[in-house]
Amino acid sequence: MTDHAIVTGAGTGLGRAMALKLSAAGCHVIGVGRRVEPLESLEDEAPGAVTTVSADVGLPEGRQAVADAVPADGQLRYLIHNAGVLEPVGPLSDVSLKDWHYSQAINVEAPLFLTQLLLPRLIGGRVLHISSGAAHRSIPGWGAYCTSKAALHMLYMVLRDELAEHGVAVGSLRPGVVDTPMQALIREQPEDRFPAVERFRELKSSGALHDPDAVAGFAVHLLTEVDAERFVEEEWEYDQHRR
């Protein structure tokens, strides 16, 4: 029986690396993103093993398109909520409702309602939230991102407790600072919108960023090798456990 895995935000960065590692581990991967080009190049890298869906997981119709792409046969073994956006960047004192909702729709609503939609297919499977250190501390200029990741962390804890009886294991991973397009975007921010930007530029120039492949390897280890009880019991931190 084929094991299917869904990775959101699979066209670039950490999601792309996780999609390729999961396909190498024998899963059929459904990679999701909005832009078609990175998804096509992902399919080219793992022909047949990765299929992709261009969809916005922040919208109900996008989530339905993801659900429709799961083949009727086989088991949906893994659902990885990795799609995320940093923006809007800047002080909360001037954030617009539209920009605020953009962030919350992708970073918070999408994981909740995609899990909900796929629940009947996920029995016996695992869900992994890609969290952030920003869920646990205030970072001026990242108010929308910090708030959304804090909400995602609480979703992980509540869904973990509620879905255990359905046989679905919900885990969470803090990847640390990873060398992806999101980090490139962070380094481009003006200091008046994001006061700590220089620290992120220095992390890059000193070679301190994690390789997405290494973090993806750890995520796949958690999904495929760690027993379900340990998988759910704490939010994993790549920085604490890297091998």
Ligand X SMILES: NC(=O)c1ccc[n+]([C@@H]2O[C@H](COP(=O)([O-])OP(=O)(O)OC[C@H]3O[C@@H](n4cnc5c(N)ncnc54)[C@H](OP(=O)(O)O)[C@@H]3O)[C@@H](O)[C@H]2O)c1
**List of residues contacting ligand X (CB under 6 A):** 8-9, 11-15, 32-35, 56-58, 82-85, 106, 130, 132, 175, 177-178, 180-183
Question: In which residue are the tokens 């994981």 written?
Answer: 111
Least spacing, CB of residue 44 vs ligand X, in Å: 16
Residue 81's closest CA among 136, 151, 139, 144? 151
Q: How far is CA 194 from the centre of its chain?
A: 23
- Which residue is nearest to ligand X, using beta carbons? 13
Least spacing, CB of residue 191 vs ligand X, in Å: 19
Element (H, E) at 31: strand 28-33
**Closer CB to ligand X, 2 or 116, in the complex:** 116
Structure tokens belonging to residue 14: 């950490």
DSSP three-state, residue 78: strand
Q: Is 148 annotated in the active site? A: no
Residues found in the chain: 243
Catalytic residue among 21, 23, 132, 145: 145
Catalytic residue among 21, 23, 103, 131: 131
Q: Is 21 annotated in the active site? A: no
Q: Please name the residues in contact with 243: beta carbons below 8 A apart, sequence gap of 6 or more.
A: 218
**Closer CB to ligand X, 124 or 242, in the complex:** 242
Structure tokens belonging to residue 188: 């481009």
57 close to 83: Cβ distance less than 8 angstroms:
yes
Structure tokens belonging to residue 147: 């708030």
Least spacing, CB of residue 206 vs ligand X, in Å: 15
Least spacing, CB of residue 167 vs ligand X, in Å: 26
**Closer CB to ligand X, 13 or 88, in the complex:** 13
Catalytic residue among 149, 156, 172, 238: 149
**Closer CB to ligand X, 77 or 179, in the complex:** 179
Q: Is 145 annotated in the active site? A: yes
Residues with a catalytic annotation lie at 131, 145, 149
